[in-house]
Structure 1
Amino acid sequence: MNVFPNAAEYLRHHRPERPILALRPHAVARAAQWFVANFPGRVLYATKANDMRPVLDMLAGAGVRSFDVASLAEIERVRAIDGAELFFMNPIKSRGAIARAYRDFGVRCFAFDSHDELGKVLAETDDADDLTLFLRIACPNTHSLIPLEGKYGASVEEAPALLLRARQHATRLGITFHVGSQAVVPAAFGEALTQVGQLIVSSGVLVDAIDIGGGFPARYPHSDPPGLDLYMEEIVRAADALAVKHNCELLCEPGRALVAESESVIVRVDARRGNALYVNDGAFGSLFDAAFSGFRFPARCVTPGREDLGGGETAYVLYGPTCDSADYLPGPFILPDAIGEGDYLEIGQVGAYGRVLGNRFNGFGDFEEITLTDEPMLSMFADTELQALDDPRSVSL
């Protein structure tokens, strides 16, 4: 993967027809090192956010050696990382996936949220005596931009019987929850941990681990959450207040917070109509969240010689290249008034979910790929010093 100091320098030598995904490996390593150093427990990476092999390698090289996987495809991809420990945390899995995960890939950690799902895990592993089982409980998503409640999670009423049954089979027993994606209030984690503590006490079943899930935020133009240090302070406070904190491991599953800053996409303006720009990537490519999740992304002009266009600014909307009218990104994207056909734009913060949600609708969806060494357009870790990595393979792109 060719390396350039910034997007404009790449464009001085190239005029690409396809959109370009630009990876910033140092942003991945910096975020991972921060979480490993500051989270009071084990850090799992939520593989669904970005399963690109260089990203996985950078995370592993920076100290993240455990991975939350949701499918056999993710298991196969992550298993290639030397020493990776896999946690199959999708609460609903096929019997075949459970059996293959256990027998072919050495997975020993499974989530469940019902008696039926627990029964499947036990049956397909032949009541193995080396299982770590995590009960997923329902958690209100009152402080997140993308709520995840409703699909998964045992209720408070159902949980005690499930914990008791799992305790009889598990070598290690845990509880897990998810406060929702892009949680913008640190108290979300404290409230959920308090709920878990009350559940453990009322059920009378001791657990060996509590997995607080993901939801840690990244920075976007529409969402500027408090520093992640405040999230860690809240988690430590709530965990210390648990009556069952002794010998209980704490885990987390960041995805967005680890990789959002790691990639941007460089797009070309193919037409302008008023304040609408027609570009060559969109809702069915790396900008799904801009179309369907209400996210705004930072944008700037990177056409060589036009990076610092004078004059005022315009709040633009974008249309992607497909023929579907849903390929619409309301933004707004704040860019110079003079933007026009042929200009190139860099849109930041697409490292989380951008790559993995893209498809080939209408024949689009192919990207060129480069590596950039400049800073992300927005960062939660801008003041964090990147430490030298011990594993040289982690920086091999």
Structure 2
Amino acid sequence: MHTYATPYNIVRNLQPELPVYCFRPERVTASARWFVEKFPAQAFYAVKANPAPHVLDALWEGGVRSFDAASEKEIQLIHGRFPGARIAFLHPVKPRHAIKRAYENYGVRIFVTDTVAELNKILEATGHARDLTILVRIAVSCDGSALPLANKFGAGPEEAAEILRLARRHADEVGVSFHVGSQAMKPSAWAQAMADASRIIIDAGVTVDIVDVGGGFPAIYADTAPPEMDDYVAMVMRSFENMFVLENAELWCEPGRALAAEAESLLVRVDLAKGNTLYINDGSYGSLYDAVHERWEFPIRAIPGDGRKMGRMVEYTVYGPTCDSTDKLAETVWLPAGMTEGDYIEFGNIGAYGRAMATRFNGFGEAETLAVQDAPWPSLYGAASAEVVAFGSKATN
């Protein structure tokens, strides 16, 4: 992968026609090392956040050795790239054939369930193996998260206790897991969830070997900054000490966004300016899905295609490249006046769920990946400059 000093150099030297993922490997390695060194929990990277090989390699370089896979394809990817990795199949609903192949072909021993039916499926598909680790996912509050995940998965208290009792009879290790929602902005969400999990364990009357506090750890975008990561760790560790679990119980977590968000930015080209309306070569069906459908506010900056000096800020409406009229950023964007065809916009901290959500609708979706060495975007893991513009906020470049 070719490396440039900054995206400005990419624009000046290449004038790229396709969107460009600007990869910053040191950001990924820094986030990985932070979790490995400062969070006393086994971190299972949520592969769904960004499965790009270069991102996975940077995580491995930073010390991540465990991975949360949600599909057989993700298991195959990790097993093929890192034969010594620890893989957990943590989707609560799995095809029977995928469970069987995960166990027999890829050495997966860790599975999650939130129903008795899924537990039985796991037991049957693995031939009632005695070396299984079964995590029971419980339903918890998602208060304070940008994307609540409470409705689709998670067992209620009574059912969770029943599953724990059944799992304890068959599995080598048993644990509880939960997810407080994506981009969780309140560390206290983990305290409440862990207290709920502890009550379920007591009701079940079983010993528990593992507490998996899931994902939801945030990243910095261009709206309200989350608390410091140290605050999340302190809350989790205090809550873990009060849980009704074995003294030697393990603590796990499943960071995805927190590890990958700062990995990449997205450099897009303006294909047409129609007054204060811009048409760019990526959008809601590409890596800007979250900017449209979830109203995510990414840090942005304009890069002139001809190197000219850019002036005062004005408000723009921005459309993506497809023929769908809904392919439009949810919020207006403040950018320099006079933006025109051949200028570029960089969306920062889009490494989580950016490329992972992109489709090929209308024949679009192709992109390049280049490495860069600058660090303009806010970081939870180190100092960075503040050269950003937030959607809907008037700022200077």
- Tell which deviates more after alignment, 118-127 or 321-330: 321-330
Structure 2 contact 304–310 (Cα < 8 Å) conserved: no
Rounded Cα–Cα distance in structure 2 between residues aligned with 1:307 and 1:137: 55
Query: Is the partner of 2:164 in helix, strand or coil?
Result: helix
Query: What per-residue deviation string (whole Å, max 9, x for no partner) do you get for residues 271-296 of structure 1?
Result: 22343211000111111101111101
Give the alignment of 1:308-387 within 5 angstroms.
309-310=310-311, 312-383=312-383
Question: Which has the bigger relative contact order, CA under 8 A and spacing at least 6?
Answer: 1
CA change 1:264–1:149 in 2 (3 A) is same
Structure 1 position 326, deviation (Å): 1.8
RMSD, aligned CA: 1.4
Rounded Cα–Cα distance in structure 1 between residues aligned with 2:166 and 2:308: 62
CA change 1:188–1:274 in 2 (3 A) is farther
Structure 1 position 110, deviation (Å): 0.3
Aligned AA for 2:372? L
Query: Is the partner of 1:328 in helix, strand or coil?
Result: coil
Rounded Cα–Cα distance in structure 2 between residues aligned with 1:227 and 1:273: 41
Aligned AA for 2:25? P
Structure 1 residue 277 corresponds to structure 2 residue 278: yes
Structure 1 contact 24–371 (Cα < 8 Å) conserved: yes
Rounded Cα–Cα distance in structure 1 between residues aligned with 2:306 and 2:362: 33
Structure 1 contact 275–317 (Cα < 8 Å) conserved: yes
Structure 1 residue 154 corresponds to structure 2 residue 155: yes
Rounded Cα–Cα distance in structure 2 between residues aligned with 1:355 and 1:300: 19
Structure 1 contact 316–331 (Cα < 8 Å) conserved: no
Rounded Cα–Cα distance in structure 1 between residues aligned with 2:317 and 2:364: 20
Residue 45 of structure 1 corresponds to 45
Residue 143 of structure 1 corresponds to 144
Give the alignment of 1:279-318 within 5 angstroms.
279-303=280-304, 306=307, 309-310=310-311, 312-318=312-318
Residue 387 of structure 1 corresponds to none
Structure 1 contact 181–217 (Cα < 8 Å) conserved: yes
Structure 1 residue 171 corresponds to structure 2 residue 172: yes
Residue 246 of structure 1 corresponds to 247
Query: Is the partner of 1:265 in helix, strand or coil?
Result: strand
Give the alignment of 1:47-196 within 5 angstroms.
47-79=47-79, 80-196=81-197
Structure 1 position 307, deviation (Å): 7.3
- Tell which deviates more after alignment, 338-347 or 130-139: 338-347
Rounded Cα–Cα distance in structure 1 between residues aligned with 2:87 and 2:213: 16
Structure 1 position 315, deviation (Å): 3.1
Structure 2 contact 20–267 (Cα < 8 Å) conserved: yes
Give the alignment of 1:168-247 within 5 angstroms.
168-244=169-245, 246-247=247-248
Rounded Cα–Cα distance in structure 1 between residues aligned with 2:378 and 2:203: 44
Unaligned runs of 5+ in 1: 385-397
Structure 2 contact 209–245 (Cα < 8 Å) conserved: no
Query: Is the partner of 1:370 in helix, strand or coil?
Result: strand
Query: Is the partner of 2:21 in helix, strand or coil?
Result: strand
Structure 1 position 304, deviation (Å): 5.4
Aligned AA for 2:55? V
Rounded Cα–Cα distance in structure 1 between residues aligned with 2:217 and 2:342: 37
Structure 1 position 53, deviation (Å): 0.7
Structure 1 position 81, deviation (Å): 1.1
Rounded Cα–Cα distance in structure 2 between residues aligned with 1:94 and 1:243: 33
Residue 391 of structure 2 corresponds to none
Structure 1 position 71, deviation (Å): 0.6
- Tell which deviates more after alignment, 338-347 or 211-220: 338-347
Rounded Cα–Cα distance in structure 2 between residues aligned with 1:333 and 1:375: 22
- Tell which deviates more after alignment, 23-32 or 216-225: 216-225
Residue 392 of structure 1 corresponds to none
Query: What per-residue deviation string (whole Å, max 9, x for no partner) do you get for residues 330-371 of structure 1?
Result: 233332123222211111111001111111111111101110
The TM-score normalised by the length of structure 2 is: 0.94
Query: Is the partner of 1:330 in helix, strand or coil?
Result: coil
Rounded Cα–Cα distance in structure 2 between residues aligned with 1:306 and 1:330: 29
Structure 1 contact 133–173 (Cα < 8 Å) conserved: yes
Structure 1 position 37, deviation (Å): 1.1
Query: Is the partner of 1:157 in helix, strand or coil?
Result: helix
CA change 1:376–1:96 in 2 (3 A) is farther
Unaligned runs of 5+ in 2: 385-397
Aligned AA for 2:109? R
Aligned AA for 1:160? A
Query: What per-residue deviation string (whole Å, max 9, x for no partner) do you get for residues 143-166 of structure 1?
Result: 100011111111012111110000
Aligned AA for 1:174? G
Rounded Cα–Cα distance in structure 1 between residues aligned with 2:173 and 2:376: 40
Structure 1 position 308, deviation (Å): 5.2
